[in-house]
Amino acid sequence: MKYLDEYRDQRIARALASEITQRTTRPWVLMEICGGQTHTIMRYGLDELLPRGIELVHGPGCPVCVTPLETVDKAIALAGLPDVILVSYGDMLRVPGSSSDLLRAKALGADVRIAYSPTEAVKIARLTPDRKIVFLAIGFETTAPANAMAAWQAKREGLTNFSMLVSHVLVPPAIRALLLSSTNRVQGFIAPGHVCTVVGCKDYENLVRDFRIPIVVGGFEPVDILEAVLMLVRQLETGEAKLENQYARSVSYKGNVTAQEIMAEVFEVADQKWRGIGPIPQSGLRLRAEYASYDANRVFDLEEFSVDEPAECISAQVLQGLKKPTDCPAFGRRCTPENPLGAPMVSSEGACAAYYHYRRHAAAT
Amino acid sequence: MRAARVQFGGIVRQVSLSFVPEAELGDYVMVHVGFAISRVDSLEAERTYKLLEEMGALETELPPAEE
């Protein structure tokens, strides 16, 4: 397919890897933020093409993985109410809450439905006026405009049986938190191309300025990631720190202004808890007061509570790039995609799932 | 809401053009959860690719890829 096959060309990937090897004189630790990029790296074995000195650590950019345990528990509780239809992205169904998951709730009779797009949840609300439809609106900036659009549509149509359980996270505050952490080893970032497609590059420019760290906005195909690594290595080897855009075929400096407008109309920035990481100030989105009647927390009068992560799961360290999934004693044994202990083993963007699908045989030998 | 039929490899899906109102017939778009979020800049895509291809072409002595 055009614009995809070219970016999977092995000949070019190898040429880029060889260029990176020539340029690398010292070890460098680079982080790709997005789980989609982590999967490309594992699937194509890109880390093995790189010289020994280049270490790729995997970031927290898996929306399902960082959705708080409490949100999953709330969704399960709502799904159990007799008049509720809970609508969710498919990835969320197997994510463990503190004692169950949505798929199990569904098997026990809860009406849980999978949507590919948030507009499907609005459609269900329109067609089923005698039921209360709750959409589990999770995601990063890439998904926020689409989820915002669902609330906007529901409001415009005057639907009274639609609400959203919102758990939205923002990438730049998470990068800032990683860089401020005393355990940080990361020397350069590959910023998530689809997040930047929506919000543009300005926030990343601020991070480059504040921390004097190179950031390259990168795409998701093997050639994209290798080119982004090369751009980072060139900067690091010459002592530069600037923002570069490898993924210019989709990302502009300003981003998608139309999408930003609908996001700002419906959501406002708020403090947010990240599963495995904890609270990060001003790192999430919540519904604005004008949309309060679409907030499931309010509609169902849900109480705030706090639960502990399962002790055996090391996803907190995996999500911060401090440990690799294969460092976990439970990996591939007590924890598999069929029976996950933590969210990163479930999601198609989770680092543990990526290692499980593409590396578990290597890890076993 | 303006929508389009978008082909993904073998599948065709209905996609909202709310965020990319300028999209036209025959454009390549980036799609996320049923919404087009960008129009792929064909000049940029080809420019990047040409640059990369030139690099690749300089490396003809590389061993063939194993698979």
CA B57 to chain centroid:
23
Q: How confident is the model at residue A6 (pLDDT cuts 50, 70, 90)?
A: confident
A4 and A26 part of one domain: yes
Tell me, yes or no, whether A260 and A357 share the same domain: no
CB contact under 8 A, B28 and A197: no
- Whether residue B16 and residue A16 make contact (CB cut-off 8 A), yes or no, is no
Do A331 and A319 belong together in one domain?
A: no
Give the 3-state DSSP-derived string for chain B, with helices as H, strands as E and coil as C.
CCEEEEEECCEEEEEECCCCCCCCCCCCEEEECCEEEEECCHHHHHHHHHHHHHHHHCCCCCCCCCC
Q: In what order do the strands lie in the sheet with B29-32?
A: B3-8, B11-16, B35-39, B29-32
Q: Answer yes or no: do A218 and A340 share one domain.
A: no
Q: Where are the domains of chain B?
A: 3-57
Q: In the structure, what pLDDT confidence band is assigned to residue A120 with cuts at 50, 70 and 90?
A: very high
Cα gap A75→A87, rounded to integer Å = 9
Is the domain of A83 the same as that of A11?
yes
* Confidence (pLDDT) at A362: 63
Give residue B49's pLDDT.
67
SS3 A145: helix
| Stronger pLDDT, A349 or A141, i.e. the higher one | A141
- Using a CB-CB cut-off of 8 Å, the residues of chain A touching B53 are 12
Of A2, A12, A256, the CB nearest to B38: A256
Taking CB atoms and an 8 Å cutoff, what residues of chain B touch A117?
A: 16, 33-35
Q: How many CB atoms lie within 10 A of CB B14?
A: 11
B18 vs A9, A149, A251: nearest CB: A149
When pLDDT is averaged across residues A330-356 and rounded to a whole number, the result is 92
Contact between residue A37 and residue A191 where contact means Cβ atoms under 8 Å apart: no
Can you tell me the distance from the alpha carbon of A351 to that of A99, in angstroms, rounded to the nearest whole number? 23
Residue type at position B64: P
Domain span including residue A345: 325-364
Please name the residue of chain A whose CA is at the shortest distance from the CA of residue B66.
Answer: A10
A343 has pLDDT over 80:
yes
Average pLDDT score over residue span A13-19: 91
Q: Which residue has the higher pLDDT, B16 or B11?
A: B16
Is A223 an 8 Å CB contact of chain B?
yes
Amino acid letter at A288?
R
Q: What is the CATH number of the domain that holds A180?
A: 3.40.50.11740
The pTM is what? 0.92
**Residue A365 in this model has a pLDDT that exceeds 60:** no
Any bridge partners for residue A84, and if so which?
A132
**Same domain flag for A165 and A259:** yes
Contact A146 B34 (CB under 8 A): yes
DSSP summary character for residue A97: -
User: Using a CB-CB distance cutoff of 8 angstroms, which residues of chain B are in contact with residue A142?
Assistant: 32, 37
Q: Are residues A332 and A261 in the same domain?
A: no
Q: How far apart are CA A334 and CA A331, in angstroms?
A: 7
The pLDDT value recorded for residue A154 is: 98
Quickly state the pLDDT bin for B1 (edges 50, 70, 90). Answer: confident
The Cα A207–Cα A201 span in angstroms is 10
Q: Closest-CA residue in chain A for B42?
A: A249
Predicted confidence (pLDDT) at residue A91 exceeds the cutoff of 50: yes
Same domain, A163 and A234: yes
Interface A:B, Cβ pairs < 8 A: 103
Contact A197 B16 (CB under 8 A): no
Q: Cα A328 vs. chain centroid, distance in angstroms?
A: 21
Question: In chain A, how many domains are there?
Answer: 2
Is B28 within 8 Å of A2 when comparing Cβ atoms? Answer: yes
Q: Is A194 in the B-facing interface, judged by CB distances under 8 Å?
A: yes
* Contact residues on chain A for B9, CB-CB shorter than 8 A: 1
Structure tokens at A28: 């460098």
| Residue in B9, B34, B42 nearest the CB of A1 | B9
Contact B19 A262 (CB under 8 A): yes
A35/A51 same-domain check: yes
DSSP per-residue codes, A312-365: T--HHHHHTTSS-GGG-TTBTTTB-SSS-SSGGGTSTT-HHHHHHHHHHHHHH-
Q: Report whether pLDDT(B51) > 80.
A: no
Are residues A203 and A78 located together in one domain of the fold?
yes
Of residues B36 and B44, the one with the higher pLDDT is B36
Q: Identify the closest residue of chain A to B14 by CA–CA distance.
A: A117
- Return the CATH number of the domain spanning residue range B3-57: 2.30.30.140
**Mean predicted confidence (pLDDT) in A142-158:** 98
- Given this model, what pLDDT does residue A142 score? 97
CB contact under 8 A, B62 and A145: no
| A356 and A259 co-located in one domain | no
pLDDT at B58: 45
CB atoms within 10 A of CB A81: 14
Task: Specify whether A42 is located in the same domain as A172.
Answer: yes
